[in-house]
Chains A and B, each alone.
Chain A
Amino acid sequence: MTMDWWQFALLGKLDWDSIVFVHALTHPSASEFVAAAAGCAAVLGTLAVMILLTVKDWWRPLWQDWLTSLDHKKIGIMYVVLACVMLARALIEAVLMRLHQSIAVNAPGYLSPEHFSELFSTHGTIMIFFVAMPLLTGIINYVMPLQIGARDVSFALLNAVTLALTSAGAALSMVSLVVGKFSTGGWTGYPPFTELGFSPAEGVDYWIWAVSLSSLGSTLTGLNFAVTLYKRRAPGMHLFRMPLFCWTALCTSTLMIFAMAPLTVATTLLALDRYAGFHFFTGGAGGNLMNYANLFWLFGHPEVYILILPAFGIYSEVFSTYSGKTLYGYTSLVIATMAIAVLSFTVWLHHFFTMGQSADMNAFFGIATMTIGIPTGVKVYDWLFTMVRGRIRFTTPLLFGVAFLVTFLIGGLTGILLANPPVDFSMHNSLFLVAHFHNMLIPGVLFGMFAGIQMWFPKAFGFRLDDGWGRRGFWCWAIGFYMAFMPLYALGLMGAMRRTAEWFRPEYIPFLAVALAGAVIILIGCALFCVQLAVSIRHRQTLRSPIGDPWDGRSLEWSVSSPPPDWNFATLPDVRGRDDFTAQKRAGTAYAEPAQYQDIVMPKNTAAAPLICIAAMLWGFAMVWHIWWLVGASLVIGWAVVIIRSFDECTEKTVSAAEVARVHRAWLAEVARTIATDRLDETTPANLGLARLPK
């Protein structure tokens, strides 16, 4: 037994040089120092959080009230926090890339080509799987059960486990900042480049396991949401009485159930190629990369709608709430959402028009792609008509909504251009494409999620976010977006290809400079949201709105206190129609005392999910580094937790009717004491969350 044998048995492929700091010292260059600085930021950030938790003595509350909690509201908030942390990283990476590209004209720039490739791979992977997905999952988690009048999602523990799996994947991508390197194969991880022959290092393995853990989590999340929406609706909450956000959540969940599985298959087969020498996607021995492209986009295209539909739902709530009107064309919006969900499975081939299918095949998928423009157009008109003759308040969420309408339309039109195969042949993989999908995803996902966070934040925490700082952040995002991405359309038409580490045409310089400025402004916008959060926390007394209805909302989540009690509703609501809470307020039956209270059964906290998170993360790490004993051990531990938990017969607790009544009556007493405010005063300290109805 040699030393080497022991080292491999214990640590796999890990060695000192894998640590980013050591690597920077042994191979000093500007690129390596940037990598080391990123590693430092990750380590110091973690340390800072740990010190803060220790100084404030927050470890115990963190464990008891958050990590072990099965409350859908807390799990939702944790998803959003995870997404915000990952957003900060991916945004900084974007600025680093823009900086590199803007100085890499007839010059090598400051990043090595490998490091640049790593940056666009992590940026894409993180933005999709660890920013957009957790954001929408978090918001659906928080809002949807409240909107349908449920006490929790159908499978509370599964909900925590899916958060655990997503977090483990995100953690894996963070670990790659410090130990080893991430993939250079882009967020799509196309073979044969990602096969062992071309990418022998650990990077692709980090990508595979980070993505696989997250996709597994998303599949189960979709299952959980769909069952909740079908089985947990309050009495009288017919499907066609649900707020539109719930419809979009239902469509997104359905897409998750069907579309995440092909991704799991694609990454697993790629892993088999890399770990066991199989030939699914290799160039030789009968392997075929087109199978990967098909499997990946069979996931990848529905994924676009998984991301965008919940934002459509949020916009529907935003336009109707801040225009003080019922949503225009509810039924057409539902049908359009469903149509998009179905059509999303018929267009995946447009991601590779240039990869050798017949012209007829391309024509079919091109036409199917353009068809999606129709239901989307219906939606845009519905939102516009919702605003017509409304009593509109231009607060931060509505500003995001309006910016979305304009910007998304531009993105949609460039999409129609790209859907045309002959046009696509000349634009494929150019910066025109990069501009197009950022033009869809930034307004179509991020703006929507920001609007949702601004709107539902007071519901979750009992105080509003400062609107002034929100608007400043909004303007930075909106202006920064146009500056960062409009030049990319032009660059694409001039022939600039995506993922290029060095340019040779000086006429690109002005466009690249404007794009860099735009990226910096977006980063400032992100910083302003942090300022907004800090200012709002500091002024939480003047911003408080404990009654729970700060925007004169229309759906059930506004009918309970802010934050809602653990059990959401003292008695399950009896729903009579669409916009039920508005109807109750008009009829004067809102805030009425129920005839009687009953005991409520709630799930108990459990350590199962955080344990599974640790096991999943260790498993992923061990797979990346070929530490086989740890692969086995973490797998056994993870499943042991599941099995042991299934022997626990005492997983629920009962909240007594008296306790429910006490909490509810205290809140009703506060309602009675509170003076209602007009909508137009909703950003003033007078807004305690009780809306005065307009005459």
Chain B
Amino acid sequence: MTATSHHPGLNLGASDTAAHEAAQEVMFGFWIFLMSDLIIFACLFATYTDLSLHGIATAPGPRAVIDLRSALIETGLLLVSSYTFGQASLALKYNSRPGQMVVWLIVTLALGLGFVGMEMRDFATLVGKGITPQQSGFLSGYFTLLATHGLHVIAAMVWLVVCLTQVAILGLTKAVKLRLMRLALFWHMLDIVWIGIFTFVFLIGAGL
């Protein structure tokens, strides 16, 4: 068998070519899902961009809404969580026992929780100041873009909990390993989307 049938990062046993080929199909499918999901974010970014320029009406604009300090901490949490998930992926590849990987995953989960908690606190602060998505097109776009990303992170955390449960009950079966690998892709994609949000919404918004 050719080297390409070996899926990078997958530890299904050196000689198990059939399993690697089956894995390719699943992973490829998930890449396509990510592309489609990114289109959703692209549309939300486009909508946000337009509304942040033309949709402010009489409500507060980007500058009044953005808390750069909080966004920086959130970015840090998410970037570190990507690193810890990377460590978990390495542990999945090189260790036959799940212990180390589970530890990294739990750290990732905690960082994700921290991120979602911070984001919810930001929303609560804004709502407390009377800044709600119902006030203007811009605020609708702002809350929707961020909340869509946040919902994705929450979905990924639920998925992570399901996977941890499966590691505990079923052990590191082929199916569970593949799910973890896809979750890793998903997690890193959300990180990339966040970089986009941090740049477009926060950094550029703070300059507006």
Residues of A within 8 A of B (CB): 154-155, 219, 222-224, 226-227, 230-232, 257-258, 260-262, 264-266, 269, 272-273, 276-280, 282, 284-288, 291, 295, 298, 643, 646-647, 649
Most buried by A among B33, B58, B138, B140: B140
B137 pairs with A285, CB closer than 8 A: yes
Q: How large is the interface on B (under 10, 10 to 19, 20 to 34, 35 or more residues)?
A: 35 or more
CB contacts (< 8 Å) of A282 on chain B: these are: 137
Interface residues of B in 114-162 (CB under 8 A from A): 133-141, 144, 162
Chain A's nearest CB lies how many Å from the CB of B72? 28
Instruction: Give Cα A244–Cα B192 distance, bound, in whole angstroms.
Output: 38
B173 pairs with A265, CB closer than 8 A: no
Could you name 23 residue pairs across A and B whose Cβ atoms are closer than 8 Å? A230-B28, A258-B35, A258-B39, A261-B37, A261-B39, A261-B43, A262-B39, A265-B40, A265-B43, A276-B133, A279-B57, A280-B47, A280-B137, A284-B57, A285-B59, A285-B137, A286-B51, A287-B137, A295-B43, A295-B47, A298-B43, A646-B175, A647-B170
Residue of A with least CB distance to B21: A231
Chain B's nearest CB lies how many Å from the CB of A341? 15
Within the complex, which residue of B40, B44, B139, B169 is in contact with A647, where a contact is CB–CB below 8 Å? Answer: B169
Within the complex, which residue of B47, B135, B162 is in contact with A285, where a contact is CB–CB below 8 Å? Answer: B135
B50 pairs with A279, CB closer than 8 A: no
B166 pairs with A264, CB closer than 8 A: no
| B32 touches A (CB below 8 Å) | yes
| B98 touches A (CB below 8 Å) | no
A287 pairs with B179, CB closer than 8 A: no
Residue of B with least CB distance to A266: B43
CB contacts (< 8 Å) of B43 on chain A: these are: 261-262, 265-266, 295, 298
CB contacts (< 8 Å) of B169 on chain A: these are: 647
Within the complex, which residue of A227, A265, A643, A649 is in contact with B44, where a contact is CB–CB below 8 Å? Answer: A265
A269-B47, A646-B162 known, 11 other contacts, Cβ within 8 Å: A219-B36, A226-B32, A232-B25, A257-B35, A261-B39, A262-B39, A279-B134, A280-B47, A287-B140, A298-B43, A647-B169
Chain A's nearest CB lies how many Å from the CB of B49? 10
Q: How many inter-chain residue pairs (CB < 8 Å) link A and B?
A: 111
Chain A's nearest CB lies how many Å from the CB of B35? 6
B56 pairs with A286, CB closer than 8 A: yes
Instruction: Give Cα A280–Cα B173 distance, bound, in whole angstroms.
Output: 46
Instruction: Give Cα A227–Cα B179 distance, bound, in whole angstroms.
Output: 17
Residue of B with least CB distance to A260: B36
A258 pairs with B40, CB closer than 8 A: no
A286 pairs with B136, CB closer than 8 A: yes
CB contacts (< 8 Å) of B140 on chain A: these are: 269, 272-273, 278-280, 287
Chain B's nearest CB lies how many Å from the CB of A281? 9
B36 pairs with A261, CB closer than 8 A: yes
| B55 touches A (CB below 8 Å) | yes
Interface residues of B in 39-67 (CB under 8 A from A): 39-40, 43-44, 47, 50-51, 54-59
A286 pairs with B166, CB closer than 8 A: no
* A227-B32, A272-B144, A647-B166 known; A291 vs B57 contact (CB < 8 Å): no
B133 pairs with A278, CB closer than 8 A: yes
What sequence of 0s and 1s flags, for each residue 1-33 of chain B, a beta carbon within 8 Å of any chain A beta carbon? 000000000000000000000001100110011
A287 pairs with B166, CB closer than 8 A: no
CB contacts (< 8 Å) of A278 on chain B: these are: 133-134, 140, 144
* A227-B29, A265-B47, A646-B166 known; A279 vs B136 contact (CB < 8 Å): yes
CB contacts (< 8 Å) of B28 on chain A: these are: 227, 230-231
